Structure 1
C-alpha cells in the first residue's frame, strides 16, 4: 500500500466521522487550532512536531504541533492552524493538503483546540521561527504506534482524575494536549485496513 493510499484512507475516515466537541461547564474556553502535519519521504509516512523554546511563559520546552490561539483575522479555526503553521515553519498554507478534523481537545490553560490533520511537503525545507520553535522533530508514524514507547500516569484536573499519556522517542518526550491529539489520531490510523503492510516497511535509523 502506498503512503498516498494511507493519506486517502485517513481523509475518508475523518470526513465520515464528526469531530467530538468539548465544553467545560461554567467556563468560557478560548479558541485555538493546530495542524498535525504528515508527510512522506522515501515511502515512509512521518509525523512532525515542534519544540517550544525554553524561555516562553507557557508550555516552555514542550513538544507541540504548529498552531495557536485564534485571532480576529482568522475566520475559521482552520485558518488559524494554517496561518500558525506558515508563521512557525514557513510552510505556505497552499502547500498543505487538509485531510480533516480530529476531536476538540482542552488545555489546562483554558483553550479549546481544534486539531486538523494535513499533509505537508516532504522536502524538509522548514523555516522555523526562533521565537516559537527551537527544534523540528520528524518521527516515523510506525515508531509512534509502538506500544513500548507509551506510558500512562493518573493526574488530577478540575477535581477529576484522568489519564496522561507520554510518548518517548529517543530523548524526546511528548505529553499533554499534544499527546492527547496524537493518541486520537493514532486510534484512527490503526483502523485503516492493511495499514500494517505499509508500516512494517524498514524505518530510517536514528531517533
Structure 2
C-alpha cells in the first residue's frame, strides 16, 4: 500500500473502519475449535481498540489505545492492550450479552455464518470477546456498548509466561476512560505514528541483580519496539503487544518496520520485581519506563 493510500484511509475513519473489517474477515473458525476449559483459563484475552481522537490540526485521527501497567502488577511499566484471563463462570454469562441484537457480535457481518456452521467456535469467540470487554471495563472503564467488533488477529504466545493472547480488534469512538489500580495511565498512539519508520527502535531490557546496583540483560536477545513520546514522557512498546500491533499494521496497511539490525538501541532498567509485581507490595514505587532512556 502506498503512503498516499494510507493517508487517505487515516483521514476517513468510517472508511478505515470498513477496510479493517474487510481485511480481518478471513479469520478461520478452525482457529478457535477444540479449546478446552483449562486452555481458555490459562489463556489471556486482549482487546485491541482503535478509536478516533482530535489530531494536531483539529481533525479526527484513529489511535491505538493502550494501558501502561502500574507498579502493583507484573511487568510494571509495560504498554499493553486492555485485557486479561478468562473467568469462566462470569464470562460465560457475559458471552450471551455480546450476542444479543445490537451487541458487538450480532452486528458483526460473519456472525450468522459462524453461528450456523461453526457452533463451537462461535461460542469460544463470544467467550473471548466477553472476557476482553469485561477486562477493559475493569481496567479503564471502557464502555462495551460503544464498541464495534471488526475481527480477530492470530493468537500470540507470551515469551516469558506460559500464556496465549487472543487479540480482538474493534472500533470504539467517544470513550471516557479512567484507569483502575492495575493501570498507571492510559496512552493513545495515533496510527500515523505507528506507520512512521523513524519511530522504531531496538529494545534491550536490563534488570537489577542485587543491592550493589549491577544490572544484566533480561533476555539474551534484543527486541524490536516502537518508541512513543507524549506530554508525560517516553515509552517503549515491545513484546507481545508490539507483535499484535505489527500484525495489525501488516494486514491492514501492508506496513513493515525497519529491519531490527538497522534500529537504534534503547535501554530500559527494570527492578527484580518486574516478573512478579512485588515492587508495590514492598513500597518501591518507581517510574519503570523512564529510568534509563
TM over 0.5: yes
Q: CA offset at residue 65 of structure 1?
A: 0.4
Runs of 4+ more than 6 Å apart: none
1:9 aligns with 2:6: no
Partners in 1 of 2:192 and 2:51 — Cα distance?
13
Q: Is the Cα contact below 8 Å between 2:155 and 2:165 reproduced in 1?
A: yes
Partners in 1 of 2:44 and 2:130 — Cα distance?
10
Aligned counterpart, 2:167:
115
Question: 1:113-169: CA deviations, max 9, x gaps?
Answer: 00001111235x11211x1111111111010111112234699xxxxx977321101
Aligned counterpart, 1:182:
245
1:28–1:121: structure 2 CA closer, same or farther, 3 Å change rule? closer
SS in 2 for 1:173: strand
Q: CA offset at residue 30 of structure 1?
A: 1.6
Q: CA offset at residue 53 of structure 1?
A: 0.4
Aligned counterpart, 1:37:
49
Q: CA offset at residue 110 of structure 1?
A: 0.8
Partners in 1 of 2:239 and 2:30 — Cα distance?
18
Partners in 1 of 2:245 and 2:225 — Cα distance?
10
1:89–1:144: structure 2 CA closer, same or farther, 3 Å change rule? same
Partners in 2 of 1:154 and 1:62 — Cα distance?
13
Q: Could you tell me which of 139, 143, 148 is aligned with 2:193?
A: 143
Q: Is the Cα contact below 8 Å between 1:11 and 1:100 reproduced in 2?
A: yes
- Which structure has the highest helix share of the two? 2
1:163–1:114: structure 2 CA closer, same or farther, 3 Å change rule? farther
Partners in 2 of 1:152 and 1:92 — Cα distance?
35
SS in 2 for 1:59: coil
Partners in 1 of 2:227 and 2:85 — Cα distance?
27
SS in 2 for 1:10: helix
Partners in 2 of 1:167 and 1:21 — Cα distance?
28
Q: 5+ unaligned residues in a row in structure 2: which ranges?
A: 1-10, 54-58, 93-126, 206-219, 256-293
- Provide the TM-score with structure 2 as the length reference: 0.56
Q: Is the Cα contact below 8 Å between 2:41 and 2:86 reproduced in 1?
A: no
Q: Is the Cα contact below 8 Å between 1:32 and 1:80 reproduced in 2?
A: no
SS in 1 for 2:24: helix
Aligned counterpart, 2:84:
68
Q: Is the Cα contact below 8 Å between 2:23 and 2:252 reproduced in 1?
A: no
Partners in 2 of 1:20 and 1:187 — Cα distance?
22
1:91–1:182: structure 2 CA closer, same or farther, 3 Å change rule? same
Structure of greater Rg = 2
Q: Is the Cα contact below 8 Å between 2:63 and 2:189 reproduced in 1?
A: yes
